[in-house]
Structure 1
Amino acid sequence: MYSQNKGKIALISVHGDPSIEIGKEEAGGQNVYVRQVGEALGRLGWQVDMFTRKIHPEQANIVEHTSNCRTIRLSAGPEKFIERDRLFDHLPEFVKSFLNFQGQTQTLYPLIHTNYWLSAWVGLELHKHHLFRQIHTYHSLGAVKYRSVTTIPLIANTRLSVEKTCLETADCIVATSPQEQEDMRSLVSSQGNITVIPCGTNVQHFASTERHSAREKLGFAPDAKVILYVGRFDPRKGIETLVRAVGRSEVRHPENLKLIIVGGSRPGHKDGRERDRIESIVKELGLEEITIFPGQISQSELPNYYAAADVCVIPSHYEPFGLVAIEAMASGIPVIASDVGGLKYTVVSQETGLLVEPKNEVAFADGINQILSDPSWAKTLGKAGQKRVLSYFSWDGVAEQLDQLYLSQLKQLHQDFFAVNVVS
């Protein structure tokens, strides 16, 4: 049931289409965040338009999700997939398309919430055309990312400059964890207005599946020891660390051990090449018989994989938040995660799971062995994780926090507009 109409808001996510199927290349946590936040804000009475880039001629220009929430795809360069690091030159066309849409529909958005640095640049450009309040969520900080990769892209300096300008000039930055806020202050700028509002998950969607039925559907034995990874095929996700941890002798000994690596990939593309590399390591370690690559899994199927698992492993080199962690915790599954970024906020070590040193296969192997060898403790961790998610990370709870932020920003916008008109 919708509350009263609170007004219009634009969520801009240039490269992360909120209506695309999760698991495809460049489709991950940001897409989920924008879609779920958009729909939850719609339930609170906002009219939400989510703007993204059209990547295929057959894609619909407008996708209606609910009566209060829709995705609008704008032209920006050729209508084909382009990696995010190559999109910057097409952003001026995205700005032009956005302004044209406003003109054609006679709509001015008083609040624009941008997502990722590409969208931040779009927001900064739109400020040249009309008055509005810009809220921004980074999803990933270049200053952090470039410390964990060996090859720095050519766009790096542009990204770092845009992220700094956005932090210092946007009306409010939404950090998804205290760690991300700390990274902004220490690595980007001491200036700017930051508030912490976490990401969320659909708690009921993940909490309603029972282990026995999930294993029956997936064909796993009741006594199997199931280790789960969910995410993109990307070197920064640390899948190699997980595979090598499973290959160590202290982990390999249980009967019916299964390693499930969930994620889509496209042959010939970056994620396809990473999957090929991971498969070659699986073969090198002799893990082919216990390793399953289900490929891209729909959101309706995903709860079965979480429910069937004994432990969910998130070996990322860096995560600003870590959506998979709270999905697993919502499912009542203990989590082993890298002790980095937002994972240090979502996962409470020794309470809802374990935090271990990133890129350290020995540490991950030890953590996996601890949980698999002590089912009673694993169950305690899972229950505590579920309780934490219910308390802090539901999408409706996140939307209510954003709702209060938006209302305060609208109030400030009205004051700014009044001040401008009095002066003029």
Structure 2
Amino acid sequence: MNSTTEKRIALISVHGDPAIEIGKEEAGGQNVYVRNVGEALAQLGWQVDMFTRKVSLEQDSIVKHSDNCRTIRLKAGPLEFVPRDEIFEFLPEFVDNFLKFQVKNGIKYELVHTNYWLSSWVGMQLNKIQHSKQVHTYHSLGAVKYNTIENIPQIASVRLAVEKDVLEKAERIVATSPQEQEHMRSLVSTKGNIDIIPCGTDIQRFGSIAREAARAELGIDKEAKVVLYVGRFDPRKGIETLVRAVNESELRDSKNLQLIIGGGSTPGNSDGIERARIEQIVNELGMSDFTTFAGRLSQDILPTYYAAADVCVVPSHYEPFGLVAIEAMASSTPVVASDVGGLQFTVVNEETGLLAAPQDVDAFASAIDRILLAPEWRDELGKAGRKRVETKFSWDGVAHQLSELYSELLQPQPVASTAKELVESTAELVQSAAKELVESTVELVQSTAKQPVLVAK
């Protein structure tokens, strides 16, 4: 594969727009992953097209990030925000518009890398229709998620069936940690091909500013003890656990303690409900004087917040990887995280931070205090964290591993001899696509509608 045309990849992220500002609704680790993987692959010579769902008329249909990397927004359902659990019914339209995009541009994607279960269904349809090969990254497993929430959505049975299907049918599954791979095998299926390739982070951007300079920039006293949370407002992110843990800190009544909660969307969106709930808890506990809701943190200012903190807390009920943890570690800031999922892989207990039982307020309070009360140990943990990220979690390293995987799967394929033949052959695929999509959708819904939601305990 010597030409850029041959080194073409479609990254599909239906609900996670790679071009959207991180911190907005439905914008989190998956968006960061897809965007950074795309840009890093482009640096390696791949032509990268990242497909996502368009949510408003104001959005550009194509956003160019670099010469070889762009985000392409396709219509699928109403041009408005739709919660991810309600998007499935619009996926046939997404596939249809994907195929039309290929025809219009005279191209065909021989390989697609899908992200999250919604996109995996899209990838499986493309395999049926035009034999595109599929690599898939889950980002979250339904079999794990549904064990951590009380109200299981109606779409759960469909999701579990799709996640099993893609594990068994895709050319390759990318697990971001050994823990995620184990969950796939024990909770989803023993079939399928899995490679472990972790998420990454920008080791130049994170770690580019020292703690003292970061605090000066943010107006934080150099003697302050700063506890930081970064992420979406979602009950499963465990922010309540963090707030209650900080309330139990030995430094609770000192004038030095500061809690900064960064992230979140604008009031009125779905995560605004959780933010209002957390703010109410903060007020009830009398923590308002030393708690700051920093709002959505831009990618420009985020490294400064990480650097300014004494400890970054990731109290999620579950995380398949935990991007925030490695961003903090890259900034030489130790992490206190839930002892679950991929966080057990990214954070080395007692070496780069501490792990605590999820939703255990006392355990988190103790772990946070251990670091806040031992500045020299805090610095040792921070240095070890930075070294671990440099060694294992740079985006360049991740992109090289993915590039090797793609190249392996994209061994020379027979291709149309002319652009005209390619367009004609793709047009034939589009004509049969609608029928294929309807049949597969009906088949999937019928096969899952009668199934109870079975979640491994």
Instruction: Please name the residue that 2:308 is paired with.
Output: 308
Query: Cα offset for 1:127?
Result: 1.5
Counterparts of residues 94-105 of structure 1 (less than 5 Å): 94-105=94-105
In 1, the alpha carbon distance for the partners of 2:334 and 2:115 equals 30
In 2, the alpha carbon distance for the partners of 1:266 and 1:173 equals 35
What SS class does the counterpart of residue 289 from structure 1 fall into?
helix
Whether the 8 Å contact between 1:311 and 1:335 is mirrored in structure 2 is yes
- Structure 1's unaligned 5+ residue stretches are 418-424
Instruction: Please name the residue that 2:186 is paired with.
Output: 186
Instruction: Please name the residue that 1:64 is paired with.
Output: 64
What SS class does the counterpart of residue 276 from structure 1 fall into?
helix
Q: Which has the higher contact order (CA 8 A, sep 6+)?
A: 2
User: Which region of structure 1 is more displaced relative to structure 2, 372-381 or 243-252?
Assistant: 243-252
Deviations 1:26-74 (A, max 9, x none): 0000000000000000000100000000001011110100001000000
Instruction: Please name the residue that 2:413 is paired with.
Output: 414
Instruction: Please name the residue that 1:137 is paired with.
Output: 137
Instruction: Please name the residue that 2:214 is paired with.
Output: 214
Query: Cα offset for 1:133?
Result: 1.2
Determine if the alignment matches structure 1 residue 80 to structure 2 residue 80: yes
Deviations 1:49-102 (A, max 9, x none): 000000010111101000010000001011111000010011010000000001
Instruction: Please name the residue that 1:336 is paired with.
Output: 336
Determine if the alignment matches structure 1 residue 161 to structure 2 residue 161: yes
In 1, the alpha carbon distance for the partners of 2:117 and 2:215 equals 40
Instruction: Please name the residue that 1:421 is paired with.
Output: none
Whether the 8 Å contact between 1:203 and 1:394 is mirrored in structure 2 is yes
Fraction of identical pairs, as percent? 64
In 1, the alpha carbon distance for the partners of 2:254 and 2:362 equals 17
In 1, the alpha carbon distance for the partners of 2:327 and 2:202 equals 8
Instruction: Please name the residue that 1:281 is paired with.
Output: 281
In 1, the alpha carbon distance for the partners of 2:249 and 2:105 equals 63
Whether the 8 Å contact between 2:249 and 2:366 is mirrored in structure 1 is no
Counterparts of residues 43-62 of structure 1 (less than 5 Å): 43-62=43-62
Whether the 8 Å contact between 1:197 and 1:398 is mirrored in structure 2 is yes
User: Which region of structure 1 is more displaced relative to structure 2, 255-264 or 45-54?
Assistant: 255-264
Query: Cα offset for 1:214?
Result: 1.1
Whether the 8 Å contact between 1:225 and 1:254 is mirrored in structure 2 is no
Instruction: Please name the residue that 2:264 is paired with.
Output: 264
Aligned partner letter, 1:382: G
What SS class does the counterpart of residue 358 from structure 2 fall into?
coil
Query: Cα offset for 1:210?
Result: 1.5
Instruction: Please name the residue that 1:119 is paired with.
Output: 119
Query: Cα offset for 1:415?
Result: 9.1
Count of matched residue positions in the alignment of Structure 1 and Structure 2: 414
Aligned partner letter, 1:48: V
Query: Cα offset for 1:351?
Result: 0.3
**After TM superposition, where is structure 1 displaced by more than 6 Å over at least 4 residues in a row?**
none
In 2, the alpha carbon distance for the partners of 1:184 and 1:22 equals 28
In 2, the alpha carbon distance for the partners of 1:43 and 1:254 equals 49
Query: Cα offset for 1:251?
Result: 4.1
In 1, the alpha carbon distance for the partners of 2:160 and 2:43 equals 35
Q: 1:176 to 1:249 in 2, by over 3 A?
A: closer
Query: Cα offset for 1:131?
Result: 1.9
In 1, the alpha carbon distance for the partners of 2:406 and 2:343 equals 26
Instruction: Please name the residue that 2:175 is paired with.
Output: 175
In 2, the alpha carbon distance for the partners of 1:152 and 1:332 equals 38
Query: Cα offset for 1:329?
Result: 0.2
Whether the 8 Å contact between 1:245 and 1:251 is mirrored in structure 2 is no
Aligned partner letter, 1:329: M
Q: 1:249 to 1:115 in 2, by over 3 A?
A: closer
In 2, the alpha carbon distance for the partners of 1:385 and 1:416 equals 47
Query: Cα offset for 1:414?
Result: 3.3
User: Which region of structure 1 is more displaced relative to structure 2, 158-167 or 207-216?
Assistant: 207-216
Whether the 8 Å contact between 2:226 and 2:258 is mirrored in structure 1 is yes
What SS class does the counterpart of residue 10 from structure 2 fall into?
strand
Query: Cα offset for 1:255?
Result: 2.8
What SS class does the counterpart of residue 351 from structure 1 fall into?
coil
Whether the 8 Å contact between 2:225 and 2:258 is mirrored in structure 1 is yes
What SS class does the counterpart of residue 325 from structure 1 fall into?
helix
**TM-score in terms of structure 1 length:** 0.96
In 2, the alpha carbon distance for the partners of 1:161 and 1:68 equals 35
Aligned partner letter, 2:307: A
In 2, the alpha carbon distance for the partners of 1:250 and 1:208 equals 31
What SS class does the counterpart of residue 313 from structure 2 fall into?
strand
Q: CA RMSD in A?
A: 1.4
Deviations 1:285-307 (A, max 9, x none): 11000000010010001011001
In 2, the alpha carbon distance for the partners of 1:292 and 1:120 equals 38
Instruction: Please name the residue that 1:355 is paired with.
Output: 355
Instruction: Please name the residue that 1:18 is paired with.
Output: 18
Aligned partner letter, 1:252: R
Deviations 1:349-369 (A, max 9, x none): 000000110000000000011
- Structure 2's unaligned 5+ residue stretches are 417-457
Query: Cα offset for 1:167?
Result: 0.2
Query: Cα offset for 1:269?
Result: 2.5
What SS class does the counterpart of residue 51 from structure 2 fall into?
strand
What SS class does the counterpart of residue 406 from structure 1 fall into?
helix
Deviations 1:168-211 (A, max 9, x none): 00000000000000000000000000000000000110111111
Instruction: Please name the residue that 1:399 is paired with.
Output: 399
Aligned partner letter, 2:277: R
What SS class does the counterpart of residue 45 from structure 1 fall into?
coil
In 2, the alpha carbon distance for the partners of 1:216 and 1:209 equals 11
In 2, the alpha carbon distance for the partners of 1:265 and 1:235 equals 14
Aligned partner letter, 1:94: F
In 1, the alpha carbon distance for the partners of 2:415 and 2:63 equals 34
